[in-house]
């Protein structure tokens, strides 16, 4: 399995990013689609709207968010996209892109760990 990197979608693309995958359900504010250097928008593996709203980036909800999001990733409806991401990691470096300000408590962190452990 190749490395899985994390990066804010607003940061400039770099050759070492490999395949750049946006993992948010909503398109990032202020980012023009024609200017975004994104190879795939994997919104089917992003947290559900209900979960995203419930979490609201509140640190005290982080552990419960992780638990609920992992459950969503394990659901049958997410498996096609999860397996596609796993296949990408077998071919080369993948960078999961996210819009959140918090670099340590966001869905890309959970998804990266999920892909690593369930490989």
SS3 52: helix
Predicted pLDDT at 36: 87
Q: Where do runs of H (alpha helix) occur along 56-96? A: 62-74, 76-91
The pLDDT averaged over each successive group of 10 residues in the chain (119 residues) is 91 95 95 90 95 96 98 93 93 96 96 85
Q: pTM score, two decimals?
A: 0.93
The residue among 58, 66, 63 whose CA lies nearest residue 111 is 66
The residue among 73, 75, 77, 79 whose CA lies nearest residue 112 is 73
**Is-contact 73 111, C-beta < 8 A?**
yes
SS3 45: helix
DSSP code of 61?
G
Residue 41 φ then ψ, to 5°: -105, 105
């Amino acid at each position: 399995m190749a490395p899985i990197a994390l990066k804010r979608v607003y940061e400039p693309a770099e050759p070492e990013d490999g395949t750049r995958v946006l993992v948010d359900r909503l398109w990032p504010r202020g980012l023009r689609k024609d200017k975004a250097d994104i190879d795939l928008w994997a919104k089917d593996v992003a947290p559900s709207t209900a979960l995203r709203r419930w979490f609201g980036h509140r640190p005290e909800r982080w552990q419960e968010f992780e638990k609920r999001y992992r459950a969503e990733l394990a659901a049958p409806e997410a498996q096609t996209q999860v397996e596609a991401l796993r296949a990408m990691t077998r071919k080369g470096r993948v960078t999961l892109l996210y819009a959140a300000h918090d670099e340590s408590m966001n869905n890309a962190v959970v998804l990266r760990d999920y892909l690593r452990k369930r490989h």
